[in-house]
Structure 1
């Protein structure tokens, strides 16, 4: 045998020995970090075959409240004997407490440092939420375990599972039931999102890297004196929304329904969304859920959240996009969305503290089953174009930072009959912009207003008039 052949054989033998050694080291490492012996030792001398495992699955969107509830429940550090993260070689298949107990050399489940993600709940600091974790616990001399893991459906995370394993005895059953009972009570309070303005998001993460799912909106505070509506309209609004909410408890005592549906209708730019901001500010103890027309497919999720967080306000803007007359629908899918909305409004219990607010610019196109049936929409409130007094108040509201003399206000009123509130807001901004461009001293002149009106009503053409809510002016002989 030649020297090169001898060297080659020695290299091969050395490589084989290294592979065998690494395999043994890996097996020893896995054995030392395996979850199964840890659980068996925790329950010793009770065999793991005498353990009962109970599972609960929670919606993924409430994982922040679930984490807060777990932290509160396990605040007594004396109960925690050991805590760790858990990892499987096949995480995409999901990990259960049962699989943690059974040793599998082909798919070992091992302990790891705990892994967290940060969930934005609209507070100063996000909530640190555990992704997967195992607690070895002891209470009243009885050992039990709790295991948190993502609910997995073919690699897609659909919720959060909590498994509790305890001895199959009356005492063990009681501990499990108490554990879930306290957890459920804490989650029902839903402190993370209660009283806030929310919408659901399909995006899992924001650009900050924080996990979302539920977006918390910071709407501007709108006091009552900034809601510019005819006095009768404002009284109707307050009686059917604010006073109704204040009298709910008394109404319930007389066996009256505490749910309600309101329809806001009127031309674009007349203050429907602005009024919703006012109601959100006036009813701060209510949770407000904002649903856009394209999110109606998620209506069941919204309503589940509304029931959990009641008293709540469910706002569906531009409802005519999904609730128009069936004769005008182009596909069966549109009718499915309409039926889903009707079923959700019908399915509310009479004692539900849920207020539906629907908005539309085209009430004549609405399906009669929605707009003409009491119990779904209980009151329609018209948002008309502002009259002369309304326009005067709007001018004063949107010129707060500058001086506008009475003569200028009167000139604006003369030239803006038939415009929307949104038009007045934009007019004042452009007038101030013209004022700034000529290095003004803080007093808006008639020249500034004339330049702004010229740009909005003449230069932009008829389409611009419609976009700015000045259709009536477009149909009249407007002159500067």
Structure 2
């Protein structure tokens, strides 16, 4: 390299240094604050020289992470919450990369904190920090925690926190307490939840909260004593868990409701959910059953808990009924077996086809300890069902008795539709509903031409 080239390179380096210096002075003049000096002052050391300790968690646990970190930060009266500027590029970099680039190029100054509105219940939300830097003291040591929500469009499918602390062991202790607080303060505790799928990964993509049904025992029409047995098996164990543990008895338990479609299995489940407000409930039906392992983990963390698998025959069909592997069945069995015996968790399974269920479901304690048939309603039950569904309509007792007798073999869903159809017949004639309307609706629905409808509603043909 000749002298002229060396002089040019030296002059160009001076030019670049002046450009960077002018940029920094201009940014500070415009009110931008550099990130690295603020962290340096808070931590008492160059943040680029400190190892970053990260912790990832499922995207749906992000709200619990926000609650836990906010509680730790609030213990420090001088804590700060900062945002990081720099546009969308910041989402593509780790905290270590952000600090390196901020120190060298002033690319990521202090900016506004990003928030996201997330559900915390059926009718409640929380404004959670989706991208923000928390500066506070943990114990006697300063820490900086970058909190991020999942951002699938940037390739991040998990929530995470990244921790800086100059003191050894502090980051690990903080992570341990955050995990504990995420369980203790979880917004999912005591809620009724369903798990949704993700478009970006095989795991859980989101949580939906549901209101608990407010059904009274009189709203449930079952054979005498059945509701008490169900309640005792689910709630009685939870109520007397300490005595059972002291006696060396297991708490994990399984319950199976079976019977023809439309007899009231789902209605019975709704009653139990409303009658047991202290339980965290995870509902799995249809495609969501594939999340049974995650549901079991949630139930264990948030016990006392109940996991409901509706129409379990879709995945728990006996291996004798056909060749091939059934991975979902094995996952259900592993979820049932994976919980310790003293876990206050109940599994409630429902099915219309008990005859095809895998026998292994009942071969160990804690899988299925109690199987209860929800049968077709008898004469008394049919009369009660009609009275329930027609409570706002002035049908005569004699008419209700007659219809209950004629509709032998029909299900609860049949009687619900029967009353609705009677009201519709009267509405089309623009008059109040009478006994004649119920008689006509009964005749229509019992007519041979309605056999398909009866089959779809889950009824059996009396003939």
Q: Give the TM bin, normalised by the shorter chain.
A: 0.7 to 0.9
Quote the residue 2:71 is aligned against: 72
Change (3 A) 1:39 1:267: same
Quote the residue 1:208 is aligned against: none
Change (3 A) 1:107 1:398: farther
1:322-471 residue pairs with structure 2 within 5 A?
322-329=315-322, 331-332=324-325, 335-441=326-432, 444-445=434-435, 447-458=436-447, 461-471=450-460
Quote the residue 2:195 is aligned against: 200
Q: Cα deviation per residue 1:64-97 (whole Å; 9 max; x = unaligned)?
A: 122122222222563324522355664453422x
Task: Tell me if structure 1 keeps the 8 A contact 2:82–2:112.
Answer: no
Q: Does 1:147 align with 2:152?
A: no
Task: Tell me if structure 2 keeps the 8 A contact 1:120–1:127.
Answer: yes
CA distance in 2, matches of 1:325, 1:139: 54
Quote the residue 1:15 is aligned against: none
What SS does the corresponding residue of 2:143 show, helix, strand or coil? strand
Task: Tell me if structure 1 keeps the 8 A contact 2:310–2:350.
Answer: yes
Instruction: Work out which of the residue numbers 211, 219, 239 in structure 2 matches 1:218.
Output: 211
CA distance in 2, matches of 1:152, 1:386: 51
CA distance in 1, matches of 2:460, 2:364: 31
| CA-based RMSD | 2.9
Q: Does 1:261 align with 2:251?
A: no
Quote the residue 2:4 is aligned against: none
CA distance in 2, matches of 1:464, 1:147: 59
Quote the residue 2:224 is aligned against: 231
Question: Which is worse superposed, 67-76 or 402-411?
Answer: 67-76
What SS does the corresponding residue of 2:121 show, helix, strand or coil? coil
Change (3 A) 1:457 1:34: farther
Question: Which is worse superposed, 140-149 or 300-309?
Answer: 140-149
Task: Tell me if structure 1 keeps the 8 A contact 2:90–2:108.
Answer: no
Q: Cα deviation per residue 1:139-168 (whole Å; 9 max; x = unaligned)?
A: 677433121134678943332222221223
Quote the residue 2:99 is aligned against: 101
What SS does the corresponding residue of 1:195 show, helix, strand or coil? coil
Quote the residue 1:42 is aligned against: 42
Change (3 A) 1:343 1:35: same
Gaps of 5+ in 1: 1-20, 205-211
CA distance in 1, matches of 2:207, 2:368: 27
Quote the residue 2:9 is aligned against: none
Q: Cα deviation per residue 1:293-329 (whole Å; 9 max; x = unaligned)?
A: 3122222222221122111110001111111111334
CA distance in 1, matches of 2:24, 2:316: 62
| TM-superposed deviation, 1:38 | 2.9
The number of residue pairs the alignment matches comes to: 438
| TM-superposed deviation, 1:26 | 5.9
TM-score, with length taken from structure 2: 0.85
Question: Which is worse superposed, 25-34 or 65-74?
Answer: 25-34
What SS does the corresponding residue of 1:215 show, helix, strand or coil? strand
What SS does the corresponding residue of 2:74 show, helix, strand or coil? coil
Q: Does 1:319 align with 2:319?
A: no
What SS does the corresponding residue of 2:331 show, helix, strand or coil? helix
Gaps of 5+ in 2: 1-17, 200-204
CA distance in 1, matches of 2:235, 2:80: 51
Quote the residue 1:128 is aligned against: 127
Q: Cα deviation per residue 1:245-277 (whole Å; 9 max; x = unaligned)?
A: 322221111110001011110000111100111
Quote the residue 2:13 is aligned against: none
